[in-house]
Amino acid sequence: MPISLRSFILVVLMIAMTGCAKPARAAQPAANQALNANVDLPRQPSISPDGAQVVFTWRGDLWKVSSQGGFAERLTSHVADDTTSAWSRDGKRIAFSSNRAGGVNFFLMNADGTGINQITNSDRALGLVGFGVDENNNEVLTLQAYFETDAYRSPRPYMVSTSGGDLVRVHDAFGSFPSISPDGKRVLFNRGSSSWSRRGYDGSDAREVWLYTRADKSFKRLTNWKGNDGRAKWINNDEFVFTSDRDDNTVNLYRLRAGDDDKQAKRLTNYKDTDVEDFDISADGRTLLFARWNRLNRLDLTQPNSAPVELSILASEDETDRYQLKDMGRTVTDAALSPDGKTMAYIAYGDVYVRGVESKSPARRVTTKPSRERDIAWSADSEKLYFVSDESGMEAIYSATVKLTRSDVKKQYDAATKKDASTKPVTRPTTGPSADETARPTPNEPAKSGENDFDHEQRRRRTEPPEPGATPTTSPAGAGSRAGAAAAAADSEPSRWSEALAFNIELVSSSDVGDTNPSPSPDGKVLAFRRGSGDLFIMTLATKASTPLLHGWSDALGWRWSPDSKHIAYTTEDSSNNSDIWIARSNDVASDKHAGHAASAVNVTRHPDNDYDPRWSADGKILAFRSERVNDEYDVWSVYLDKDLESLTPVEADQYYKDAIAAAKKRKPLSAKSSTTKPRAKSSTTTTAATSATKPENDNTKIDAPKEDTSPEKEMEASSAATTQSCPVVAPKETLDLDDAYLRLRRITSLSGSEGSVELTPGGDKFIFTATVGTARSLYSLDRDATEPKRLTTAVTVQGLNFAGDQIVFTDAGRGGIVKLPNGEVEYYDIADRVRVDLQAFCVQKFLEASRILGAQYWDEKMNGLDWPAHTKRYLELARATRTAEEFDHVANRMIGELNGSHLGINAPDPANPNTRAQGRLGVTTIKDPKGFKVTSILPDGPADRGTMKLKIGDVITQIDLEPFKPDDTLESALAGKVDKEVLVGFTRDGQELAALITTVSYDRLDDLAYNHWRRENARKVEEWSGGKLGYIHILAMSQPSLDVFERDLYAAAEGKAGLIIDVRNNGGGSTADRLLASIMYPRHAYTQPRGMGKDIKDAYPQDRLFIQRYDKPIDMLCNEKSFSNAEILAHAFKTLKRGTLIGEATAGGVISTGGTSLLDGTSVRIPGRAWYLPDGTNMERHGAVPDLRVPQTPEDEVKDQDSQLHAAVDDLMKRVK
């Protein structure tokens, strides 16, 4: 790589922030006047029938412009996203999709943007394709949707009248993107579901173009490329254009006559770097418009060798296109209470805030740049607030101290006004800010009279990027970030935080791989932090020298300091992804001889199940933690690090805890004075690492306190300790009993489910945790000698305890506060601030963070052959053009799509919409009837099939809750807002008017009911086709609930059968493949015969001796292109281990272990971090499990509701059973 990653990020950040700082001019649109803002990300174009005008989406709204380019007219203006559009064939109306009414629905407007009417009203997302006609030549809109409760994980093609009403299937096969020919006789559609944002996928779920002929209801596959062909649209009744990645690994446009071999397709575009995205063709078949990268392009279809023409589009922007006011009051994600208990620090929407805990104390914003801050931690003396920021492009650790307070301002003012200005000029204090800084209002104070709010906010959030390659010296800061601000800071006492107005920010630690999670030691002398993903470093604050305590790779790293600062208890994963708790001396150094651990490190849990969250008592003699070693559920455990405590009598134990509690209460936080004692003068030789007190490698029984050290650092520490007035009262334990600690663990809780957020009070007598008792999850405390936990409050996210240990610091629903012990009183410390967010800078920050995370953690360190820094820089151009969450998701997913990997995705959270109302379901299918909706089928055991009041096929539903249907109603829309509610259903049966009380269900619940019916029908077919010899089990997901169902059905469905069919088709994955294999691969080593059982039975075995119920008779397994992830691992294993015949279609080829994280606004980023390989070295990613017997699922099968794959499995297995 020609430049370092850090240098690259600095360059990119400078470019990005320069763009962010560019002010936008006020919009002054006028005829024939050059406009102020270039349209830099037009997408999803639709073209008028005559090819003269184009509609596209930009900034979340729809715009219209000449197909030659020029000034664009805004057609819609709404806070929701208006995206896909389509022109009617007469050019008078435009249909578009929007989430403005809750869910993604369709709307229709006049071509000038007036007269908007809602066409569909569904709680399922609908994907608009275009206009067309039905079999009766009525005008319809075509679309795709996951609307029905199908087991096969694919959308269906639908159409809906332009006047509204029910969705109607285009045909009865699965597919997407239906395009109806101008004469209405034929329909082009896609099969396959791979994402178009993913470049290079050629697995079994790749897209193909198919043709449906309405007259004879026949299907024909038109393209056979192994990659992706799709989004076909008609030029006329015979020819169509489609997109394909068949050349140059790039999506281009191709032209083909229906029925011709697709090898004859004519390539219309010749791009080799960026894909053609959405396109549209004018109804006259002459002009094509397509989107590529950040421009729209026009293509003349009448000229054989026409070259694309790029459109230049200009448009005005509103203020709301660039900025957004954000209330910080419910955005808190992290909280930390200062050791002196006076100040609460928060991370709110990525910025650092502080506020005093006194009533009505105002919150002050510490950082203001468009970067993301996190990981706040107070110094032991409450003087400094450490935090992490990505302002430089890489995460680094900074510290904040108070620079200016309200008292300082008053003192300066009083001093200045008391002097005689005529005889003695006023001298500006050297410790304060400049006059401009002093006069500038704080986030919670209004601007001075006459000051322009916009200019004020621009100054407050202005960004000055560092020079490329330079080491930053200040963090993203508020007033403290200006040049010279830290030159002579005011005395920074802890009590000043509550009335702080300005802050000094200093860089503490940075690296090319990122430094995070600052954790100051209790004695205030050193700082522990994470470097990269899994290295634990220790920094001596006096010298800024850092040494590694652990070299690791796992992002599961976590730790806590011992109260005396001499040890650290940390968790990290081994090569089997098992997490244990280790304790090491904090002045030791990591060594390759010890697998990256320090020589003094001892594994104190030593178990193949995960252990997390070590927590110390104040005397260092008790360690609490969480462990999942029993029943795969996390419980609270503890261990005495002083073995002498285990031999105490009950009376002695009571006295010990009484004394420990009393001693802990006498502790005082470290004072600021003691922590700032000046060190003695050093020699010219600087010690860069703490001296390690080591012992023989084979001696791990005790860790002794380090011997006296006379180094300059140690002399400084001694000097500091001698002057402190707040030394710990609790005598530290000089030795820790660690070697056999794993044998002496004690289980503290045994509640059903997993406990979380564990903490231990300083006296070691009380455990804090969250747990589910009954149906609700809550926060609990448990005294050491109690049998039942005490509920404190509802479940919250515990951030830690205060220094005294009598308050629990927490965050919940975007707020921060404390829970008081022992009774659980809750007190919130809210912040009040509104911030003007620069949407471009906001999107750039999110983009760079997502890129940085994936660049550091993606499983393939070669990043699919991409130069990741250059790739990031290239897509940054697009990211800077985004303003809405939908635009950002589009760009971000195209960037990561070039990794050609599964389990990737960047998705904004669904926006809250007050118009969203979930629709109830009755479990019936209907067709439109003049009187209402005629029932054509009823789901067994569905809402309409339960109780004494049931519907029947042929009933005509006429009313819901005594309300007749409106002309554009659907049955579902009439049930909006009625999920899980009893409704009065009016209907007619054989001419008689009746009514029934039916309790509706949600779509998801109906989907569960439909799935259960589908698998029962499959089992019935297998029973019938095999003459009762074979059993059938479908596995819905690779999850524990599905495994429980499998184990149940292994007895219910397979007991007494000669063979078994296991079906993992349409299984989206999970993590239970090995547990299931333990059932079907169990080796038979014995059988049992209790007295009285027949001697001829030689396959019996006590079920209570088994880890999971086993099955060792013949098995076949079904898989398909919708089998994904862990389901593919199971299919691969089944074939590799030769357990039986694998039948169906090749699996998707998407096998990676994945995790995830969230960006500033809650946008999720999936992080595939672990690859899976077959024994021969084949990577399962992009290499699906290929069946021994391939049986494709065809459209004809789907139309007939015929399962050829299942039938083939029965036929094959019957050949092997007796």
**Chain Cα centroid distance, residue 77:** 29
The pLDDT, as a whole number, for residue 774 is 86
How do residues 1134-1162 score in pLDDT, each as one tens digit?
999 999 999 999 999 999 999 999 999 99
185 contact partners, CB below 8 Å, separation of at least 6 = 213, 214, 215, 237
Is the residue at 46 inside a domain? yes
The pLDDT, as a whole number, for residue 692 is 34
Burial of 272 (0-12, 13-18, 19+ CB in 10 A): exposed
Is the residue at 402 inside a domain? no
Residue 851: which H helix or E strand, with range? helix 839-857
1022 and 1136 within one domain: yes
Give the type of residue at 161: S
Kindly report the average pLDDT of the chain as a whole number: 88
pLDDT band at 198 (very low <50, low <70, confident <90, very high): very high
288 and 251 within one domain: yes
> How many CA atoms lie less than 13 Å away from 693 in the CB half-sphere?
14
Share of the chain above pLDDT 90, in %: 80
pLDDT band at 435 (very low <50, low <70, confident <90, very high): very low
Which of 1124, 1178, 1179 shows the shortest CA–CA distance to 152?
Answer: 1124
Give the type of residue at 531: R
pLDDT band at 102 (very low <50, low <70, confident <90, very high): confident
Is the residue at 1084 inside a domain? yes
Share of the chain above pLDDT 70, in %: 85
1209 contact partners, CB below 8 Å, separation of at least 6 = 1061, 1116, 1118, 1141, 1143, 1144
User: What is the CATH number for 941?
Assistant: 2.30.42.10
Average pLDDT over residues 1198-1205: 98
Residue ranges making up the domain that contains 1034: 1006-1089+1097-1214
pLDDT of 702 higher than 60: no
Is the residue at 80 inside a domain? yes
1111 and 980 within one domain: no
1158 and 1193 within one domain: yes
Please name the residue that has the structure tokens 């960037």: 895
Q: Are 223 and 242 in contact (CB under 8 A)?
A: yes
Name the phi and psi angles at 879, rounded to 5.
Answer: -60, -35
Q: Are 755 and 795 in contact (CB under 8 A)?
A: no
First to last CA, the chain: 64
d(CA 282, CA 302): 12
1112 and 968 within one domain: no
Task: Give me 920's structure tokens.
Answer: 């109830």
Task: Give me 788's structure tokens.
Answer: 């039942």
Which of 505, 507, 510, 508 shows the shortest CA–CA distance to 4?
Answer: 510
1063 and 1130 within one domain: yes
The pLDDT, as a whole number, for residue 1218 is 80
The pLDDT, as a whole number, for residue 485 is 36
Higher pLDDT, 103 or 710: 103
d(CA 278, CA 231): 8
Average pLDDT over residues 798-822: 98
1078 and 953 within one domain: no
pLDDT band at 349 (very low <50, low <70, confident <90, very high): very high
The pLDDT, as a whole number, for residue 217 is 98
Is the residue at 260 inside a domain? yes
pLDDT of 680 higher than 90: no
The pLDDT, as a whole number, for residue 461 is 34
**Chain Cα centroid distance, residue 456:** 35
931 and 1047 within one domain: no
Please name the residue that has the structure tokens 């040890």: 567
1191 and 1106 within one domain: yes
Which of 102, 50, 93 shows the shortest CA–CA distance to 75?
Answer: 93
The pLDDT, as a whole number, for residue 419 is 67
916 contact partners, CB below 8 Å, separation of at least 6 = 102, 103, 123
Is the residue at 1046 inside a domain? yes
d(CA 967, CA 948): 31
1085 and 987 within one domain: no
pLDDT band at 455 (very low <50, low <70, confident <90, very high): very low
Can you say whether the dihedral through the CA atoms of 228, 231, 234, 237 is positive or negative? positive
Please identify, among 977, 1001, 1025, the residue that sits at the C-terminal boundary of a domain.
Answer: 1001
The pLDDT, as a whole number, for residue 494 is 57
The pLDDT, as a whole number, for residue 914 is 87
1019 and 976 within one domain: no
How do residues 508-550 score in pLDDT, each as one tens digit?
999 999 999 999 999 999 999 999 999 999 999 999 999 999 9
Please identify, among 291, 320, 349, the residue that sits at the C-terminal boundary of a domain.
Answer: 320
pLDDT of 291 higher than 90: yes
d(CA 844, CA 839): 9
Instruction: Give the range among 421-425, 889-893, 1010-1014 with minimum mean pLDDT.
Output: 421-425
The pLDDT, as a whole number, for residue 675 is 53
SS3 1017: helix
The pLDDT, as a whole number, for residue 5 is 46
pLDDT of 378 higher than 50: yes
Average pLDDT over residues 235-256: 98
1083 and 990 within one domain: no
The pLDDT, as a whole number, for residue 418 is 83
206 contact partners, CB below 8 Å, separation of at least 6 = 192, 194, 226, 227, 228
Bridge partners (DSSP) listed for residue 484: none
User: What is the CATH number for 1192?
Assistant: 3.90.226.10
How do residues 568-588 score in pLDDT, each as one tens digit?
999 999 999 999 999 999 999
How do residues 973-1032 score in pLDDT, each as one tens digit?
999 999 999 999 999 999 999 999 999 999 999 999 999 999 999 999 999 999 999 999
pLDDT of 30 higher than 90: no
Q: Are 1184 and 1172 in contact (CB under 8 A)?
A: no
From residue 346, how far is each of 104, 352, 356, 395, 1156 by CA, in Å? 36, 6, 11, 18, 23
Name the phi and psi angles at 853, rounded to 5.
Answer: -65, -50
List b or e across 979-996, with b for residues whose CB sees 16 or more CB atoms inside 10 angstroms. Answer: beeebebbbbeeeeeeeb
pLDDT of 685 higher than 70: no
Is the residue at 887 inside a domain? no
pLDDT of 473 higher than 80: no
Is the residue at 194 inside a domain? yes
Q: What is the DSSP string of 635-664?
A: EEEEEESSGGGGG--HHHHHHHHHHHHHHH
How do residues 69-93 score in pLDDT, each as one tens digit?
999 999 999 999 999 999 999 999 9
pTM comes to 0.86
Average pLDDT over residues 143-149: 98
pLDDT band at 690 (very low <50, low <70, confident <90, very high): very low
Instruction: Give the range among 13-22, 135-144, 909-918 with minimum mean pLDDT.
Output: 13-22
How do residues 1071-1103 score in pLDDT, each as one tens digit?
999 999 999 998 888 999 898 888 888 888 888
* Counted domains in the chain: 3
Task: Give me 22's structure tokens.
Answer: 């560019």
User: What is the CATH number for 109?
Assistant: 2.120.10.60
